[in-house]
Amino acid sequence: MIRLIYISTARATLSSAELDGILRTSRRNNAAVNVTGLLIVGGRRFLQTLEGPSSAVMQTYERIKGDARHFAAVILDNRPITERSFPGWAMGHQPSGTLRGDATIAKDVAALIAPITDPTVRVYFAEFARKHAT
């Protein structure tokens, strides 16, 4: 198994309906190939973790990278893992309050990563939330 973490930038700020569409597709496709993870949106930035069988994660990432709704995808971390950080989520996501602007991303992300023990995952998500705190 591997775990890949990347950041990218949306071409335009996504509506919550567009984001819901991405999450629906992600959950369907990822569940079919045993990929799990977390997708966080902060302004126009995405931070996503994909974890699962190496070939499934890489194929999923290549498809995501080619998506015209975002650009400048940069892999922050890509390494073998023995345990998943998000075993229960075909694609986890922050509560929509953050996107509506009536909750803070820092608080939402803190709750999402509270059960995570992997230090790399914790640091990337906490740092992203801090940078995009509103």
Ligand X SMILES: Cc1cc2nc3c(=O)[nH]c(=O)nc-3n(C[C@H](O)[C@H](O)[C@H](O)COP(=O)(O)O)c2cc1C
- Can you give the binding site for ligand X, defined by CB under 6 A? 22, 25-26, 29-30, 39, 46, 48, 60, 63-64, 67, 69-70, 91
**Cβ proximity of 132 and 101 under 8 Å:** no
Q: Select 25 or 134, whichever has its Cβ closest to ligand X.
A: 25
Q: Select 69 or 122, whichever has its Cβ closest to ligand X.
A: 69
In the complex, least distance from residue 105 CB atom to ligand X, rounded to whole angstroms: 16
In the complex, least distance from residue 128 CB atom to ligand X, rounded to whole angstroms: 13
The type of residue at 5 is: I
The neighbour count for residue 66, using CB atoms within 10 Å, is 8
Q: Select 30 or 85, whichever has its Cβ closest to ligand X.
A: 30
